[in-house]
Amino acid sequence: MSTTDEYVSNNEVYAATFSGPLPLAPHRRLAIVTCMDARMNVYAMLGLCEGDAHVLRNAGGVVSEDTIRSLTISQRLLGTRKIMLIHHTDCGMLTFTDDEFKRQIEEETGIRPSWAPEAFSRLEDDVRQSIRRIEVAPSIPYTKSIRGFIFDVATGRLKEVE
């Protein structure tokens, strides 16, 4: 059985005891922005319930234009008011540089990406950078309740970035 078929089969077990639907708008009026990293089971690590919060994830948990788009929709159409940003230790984004990665892709495919890979070298600084990007986005109305954290993949523990 392929990996994907295995997950589809797991989903049948999940659906057997599922009770829905919950409302569309997040119950706790929160949006969480974090990394795609496989080790972060966001619902379990925060004790989130289904329906509580939007969860946005990409490589690094960086605040990209797509993150601004998603947060704008989250706040303006679906009523969220607070944001948690979560980076994590041992992140893949700490292992390369944008210039080097773009050069590798250009060498192999002939096409240099027009986008920035968004590697970073200091976790806490990038959390602060991400907060600032949200604060200056003109389309995001609620920017007073943004808090930044780092998840430690060795201990499972969150630490707030001051």
Binding annotation for Zn(2+): 35, 37, 88, 91
Task: Report the chain's C-alpha Rg in angstroms.
Answer: 18
Handedness of CA 139, 97, 162, 79 (dihedral sign): positive
- Total chain residues near a copy of itself (CB under 8 A): 89
CA atoms within 13 A on the CB side of 122: 5
Supply the minimum distance, in Å, between the C-beta of residue 72 and a copy of itself: 7
Q: Residue 116 or residue 122: which is nearer to a copy of itself going by CB?
A: 116
Supply the minimum distance, in Å, between the C-beta of residue 130 and a copy of itself: 13
Within 91-120, the residues that bind a copy of itself by CB under 8 A are 92-93, 95-96, 101, 104-105, 109-111, 113, 115-118
> Strand 146-151 vs strand 158-161: parallel, antiparallel, or unpaired?
antiparallel
Pairwise CA distance, residues 45 & 122, whole Å: 23
Pairwise CA distance, residues 140 & 147, whole Å: 15
Supply the minimum distance, in Å, between the C-beta of residue 19 and a copy of itself: 8
By CB under 8 A, is residue 121 in contact with a copy of itself? Answer: no
By CB under 8 A, is residue 157 in contact with a copy of itself? Answer: yes
Out of 128, 129, 133, 153, name the contact with a copy of itself by CB under 8 A. 153
Binding mask 42-61 for a copy of itself (x = CB under 8 A): xxxxxxx-xxxxxxxxxx--
Q: Residue 95 or residue 121: which is nearer to a copy of itself going by CB?
A: 95
Q: What DSSP assignment string belongs to 17-81? A: T---PPPSS-TT-EEEEEE--TT--HHHHHTPPTTSEEEEEEGGG---HHHHHHHHHHHHTT---
By CB under 8 A, is residue 65 in contact with a copy of itself? Answer: yes
Pairwise CA distance, residues 162 & 158, whole Å: 13
Out of 99, 124, 135, 160, name the contact with a copy of itself by CB under 8 A. 160
